[in-house]
């Protein structure tokens, strides 16, 4: 591999068309403008809460598969930050909308949500550590990108945006630190890997990025089980 080009640069370059779609999705844009229908936002908050319960289990598997104490510490810190810092956002919004913590936790995942988390959990449990990281990374990295983008696009109107806390959370130093650590970890773990393995990693990265798109879409459409 070209010494100056990191594997994460390649990932970003190739995933751009998918992430651009995510960034232009009406759910994301309307959230940025503060005009997203509350019904859609509430659907998202509830679905994302149970999504995060499963997503954070990937960090727990990361602790188990970590190669050294530093990696273990970082996985367990990010697990803690997800359950506390990130999910506090959901609990705060739920309280505003009159939804209890118990109600949040009892949310039944939609078909899209379930497909997304089962895909990641299957890779986490049956694949290698770097495959696990390739599933975690789009979630953390693209949310950080969206936080930065919405701040840049709509930051001047945050005081009147009822979803401002969402943008502030994903554009925060705390959230950025987790994303940056995962990007660096991806580069560390892929250093010197053969192309067939890099291709496998990129496949997971693209797949979970597409699931990110489906997640915006399913909340915008208020997806439920049809039967
Ligand atoms: C669906 C989804 N992807 C990524 C994140 C960021 O952790 C989130 N909260 N939800």
Helix-strand-coil split of the chain, %, nearest 5: 80, 0, 20
ipTM of the complex: 0.98
Report how far ligand 1's centroid is from the alpha carbon of 219 (Å).
Answer: 13
Q: Is 182 in the pocket of ligand 1 (CB under 6 A)?
A: no
Question: What residue spans define the domains of the chain?
Answer: 22-31+39-218
CATH 1.20.970.10 correct for 22-31+39-218: no
Question: What is the DSSP secondary-structure string of 96-122?
Answer: HTT--HHHHHTPPPPHHHHHHHHHHHH
Cα 150 off chain centre by: 16
pTM: 0.96
Q: DSSP 3-state assignment of 86?
A: helix
Q: Is 136 in the pocket of ligand 1 (CB under 6 A)?
A: no
- As given in the structure block, the two tokens for residue 133 are 């990281």
- Which of 105, 139, 202, 223 does the annotation list as catalytic? 139
Q: Is 52 in the pocket of ligand 1 (CB under 6 A)?
A: yes
Over 80: is that where the pLDDT of 1 sits?
no
Q: What does the alpha-carbon distance between residue 120 and residue 107 come to, in Å, rounded to a whole number? A: 19
* pLDDT one-digit tens code per residue, 46-102: 999 999 999 999 999 999 999 999 999 999 999 999 999 999 999 999 999 999 989
- Which band of pLDDT confidence, cut at 50, 70 and 90, is reported for residue 23? very high
Q: What percent of the chain has pLDDT over 70?
A: 99
Q: Give the single-character DSSP code of 25.
A: -
* pLDDT one-digit tens code per residue, 142-170: 999 999 999 999 999 999 999 999 999 99
């Amino acid at each position: 591999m070209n010494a100056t080009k990191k594997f994460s640069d390649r990932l970003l370059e190739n995933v751009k068309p998918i992430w651009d779609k995510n960034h232009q999705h009406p759910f994301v844009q309307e959230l940025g403008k503060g005009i997203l229908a509350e019904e859609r936002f509430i659907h998202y908050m509830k679905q994302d809460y149970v999504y995060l319960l499963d997503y954070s289990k990937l960090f727990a598997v990361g602790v188990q598969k970590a190669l050294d104490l530093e990696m273990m510490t970082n996985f367990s810190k990010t697990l803690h930050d997800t359950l506390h810092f990130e999910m506090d956002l959901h609990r705060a919004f739920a309280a505003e909308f009159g939804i209890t913590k118990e109600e949040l936790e009892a949310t039944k995942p939609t078909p899209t949500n379930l497909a997304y988390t089962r895909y990641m959990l299957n890779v986490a449990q049956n694949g290698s550590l770097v495959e696990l990281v390739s599933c975690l990374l789009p979630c953390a990295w693209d949310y950080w990108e969206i936080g930065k983008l919405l701040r840049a696009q709509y930051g001047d109107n945050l005081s009147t945006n009822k979803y401002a806390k969402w943008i502030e959370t994903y554009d925060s130093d705390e959230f950025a630190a987790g994303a940056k650590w995962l990007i660096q970890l991806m580069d560390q773990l892929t250093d010197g890997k053969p192309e067939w393995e890099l291709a496998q990693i990129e496949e997971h990265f693209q797949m979970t990025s597409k699931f990110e798109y489906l997640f915006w879409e399913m909340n915008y459409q208020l997806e439920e089980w049809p039967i």
